[in-house]
Amino acid sequence: MRRMLRLFLPLTIVAASLVTAMVAAPSDSGLHVPLAVADATAMMQKTAVIATLLAVWMFAAIALTLLSGREIRYSSIEMRASALHCFALGLVAVTSFALTAIVFSYLIPYGVGVPLLFALGVFAILTKIYGTIAVFHAIGMLVAGSRTREQLARRNWLRGDLAMVVIGVIVLGAIRLIPIVGPIIWALASVFGIGTALATKFGRREPWFLAWKPSLS
Amino acid sequence: MTQDACQRYLEDPEANGAHLVVCAKCRAEAAALAAKANVKPLSMDVNALPLAPWEGSSHRPWPLVLTLSVIVVAIALALCDAAGMSPLHVAEGSLASMEAIRGLLNSAASSLRQAPIGFQVAFGVAFLIVNALLIVLLRRAPRGIDA
């Protein structure tokens, strides 16, 4: 199992390259010539956009982990401890964001819609960024995390939250480059991330709502 | 070592435990007391315990992080160069996708305004149900570390 996980990163990169090459290559002709120059250019541009966004994600992940590594770690642990709850919460939250955005757009002519829509947009973007970075940490821990104390002591580089987040960005980024499958997996990771961010209140592990109890006098 | 520090240690050994590191006399006395009381250290193998998530988490391997970041940025710049576009185009593309989402929301809202009242009520009920479900799910305490 551990060997499989260790091989996961190179295998993912090889699989991404193979599938990309298969999609780029024409299916009807035997030669590896793109169908048209425009198709090849479009594909190259798409890959360049993904790689650039990946670099931006890398810097965002490093910055957020340096600022609040403990919170990211708590969220990552929560995601692995109760994955189904995080996924369900993420799905409901994404649906709620969409419906609420439509309702706020409906309210734009009445004057209150614009600030509400702006606040919802900022909250949704922050939730997605934080949650996706927590997913990076969880994936990094799954792929390259230490299992024993001896293993941890032996390692110089592959230890710590920052390394796990960076490994997660690389693995999920490599998967993202796979056509068709990549965007789906990335979207699922976003749903997981949004759910985790909300379930742990951005790693603070505080309740969202205070429970009211009548005082016994 | 000063008598004051020894006195403070004798008054509250637990709070001034660090004093034993620097005072040989008190250390010897403590060892003699422990031997007399026949106190045995706990036989616990720390390495046998499972690895806690926070262990080694504050380590920052900058060479790995910087190397991987530089590689990713170099690949992105090379691909942008090969595709004949600048990273600024990517930012513009992201803004354009935000505009598309805004347009979609506006069209959905205008469709909702023009829809029959029954559909508007059904949409409102769906909105309430989804948000109630969200609140129910948010009330569950995280398991995380306790799991």
Determine how many CB atoms are found less than 10 A away from the CB of residue A67: 9
Residues sharing a CB contact under 8 Å with residue A46, sequence separation 6 or more, in sequence order: none
What are the boundaries of each domain within chain A?
55-199
Give the residue from A31, A23, A2 showing the smallest Cα distance to A148. Answer: A2
CB A163 within 8 A of CB B61: yes
One-letter-per-residue 3-state SS of chain A: CHHHHHCHHHHHHHHHHHHHHHHHCCCCCCCCCCCCHHHHHHHHHHHHHHHHHHHHHHHHHHHHHHHCHHHHHHHHHHHHHCHHHHHHHHHHHHHHHHHHHHHHHHCHHHCCHHHHHHHHHHHHHHHHHHHHHHHHHHHHHHHHCCCCHHHHHHCCCCCCHHHHHHHHHHHHHHHHCCCCHHHHHHHHHHHHHHHHHHHCCCCCCCCCCCCCCCCCC
Structure tokens at A149: 């104390």
Instruction: Check pLDDT > 60 for residue B106.
Output: yes
List of chain B residues whose C-beta atoms are within 8 Å of the C-beta of residue A66: 60
The whole-number average pLDDT for the span B17-30 is: 82
- pTM confidence score: 0.77
Q: Which residue has the higher pLDDT, A185 or B96?
A: A185
What is each CA distance from B95 to A47, B92, B102, in whole angstroms? 18, 5, 11
The chain A residue lying nearest B103, using CA atoms, is: A105
Contact assignment for A152 to B56 by CB distance below 8 Å? yes
Angle (CA) B138-A62-B85 rounded to 5° is 105
Per-residue pLDDT of chain A (217 residues; tens, 9 = 90+): 555 556 665 666 666 666 665 555 555 544 555 567 777 778 888 888 899 999 999 999 999 999 999 999 999 999 988 899 999 999 999 999 999 999 999 988 888 889 999 999 999 999 999 999 999 999 999 998 888 888 888 888 888 899 999 999 999 999 998 888 999 999 999 999 999 999 999 998 788 887 777 776 6
- Give the burial class of B60: count Cβ atoms within 10 A of its Cβ; 0-12 exposed, 13-18 middle, 19 or more buried: middle
Closest CB from A81, A159, A169 relative to B147:
A81
Residues sharing a CB contact under 8 Å with residue A130, sequence separation 6 or more, in sequence order: A64, A72, A75, A193, A197, A202, A203
Closest CB from A58, A81, A96 relative to B130:
A96
How far is the C-alpha of A110 from the C-alpha of A104, rounded, in Å? 10
CB A177 within 8 A of CB A50: yes
What are the boundaries of each domain within chain B?
3-39, 63-139
Residues sharing a CB contact under 8 Å with residue A97, sequence separation 6 or more, in sequence order: A120, A124
Q: With a threshold of 0.90, tell me whether the complex ipTM lies above it.
A: no
Structure tokens at A195: 């759910």
Closest CB from B58, B127, B135 relative to A103:
B127
pLDDT at B31: 82
| pLDDT band with cut points at 50, 70 and 90 for residue B2 | low
Instruction: Map residue B42 onto helix, strand or coil.
Output: coil
Looking at the complex, report in whole angstroms how far the Cα of residue A109 sits from the nearest Cα belonging to chain B. Answer: 11
Judge whether A103 is closer than 8 Å to chain B, CB to CB: yes
pLDDT at A11: 65
DSSP structure class, residue B144: G
CB A176 within 8 A of CB A183: yes
Instruction: Check pLDDT > 50 for residue B147.
Output: no
Instruction: Check pLDDT > 80 for residue B107.
Output: yes
User: What does the longest C-alpha to C-alpha distance in chain B come to?
Assistant: 90
Give the residue from A134, A191, A173, A165 showing the smallest Cα distance to A49. Answer: A173
Determine how many CB atoms are found less than 10 A away from the CB of residue B115: 13
Q: Mean pLDDT check: name the lowest of A21-35, A144-158, B40-54, B93-107.
A: A21-35
CB A16 within 8 A of CB A179: no
Q: Mean pLDDT check: name the lowest of A3-17, A104-118, B49-63, B73-87.
A: A3-17
Contact assignment for A82 to B143 by CB distance below 8 Å? yes
Contact assignment for B65 to A48 by CB distance below 8 Å? no
For chain B, the average pLDDT equals 84
Give the residue from A127, A84, A45, A22 showing the smallest Cα distance to B85. Answer: A45
DSSP B44-82: --GGGSPPPTTTTTT---HHHHHHHHHHHHHHHHHHHHH
Which A residues in the span 1-20 are in contact with B, Cβ-Cβ below 8 Å? Answer: none
How far is the C-alpha of A59 from the C-alpha of A66, rounded, in Å? 11
Looking at the complex, report in whole angstroms how far the Cα of residue A207 sits from the nearest Cα belonging to chain B. Answer: 7
The whole-number average pLDDT for the span B33-60 is: 75
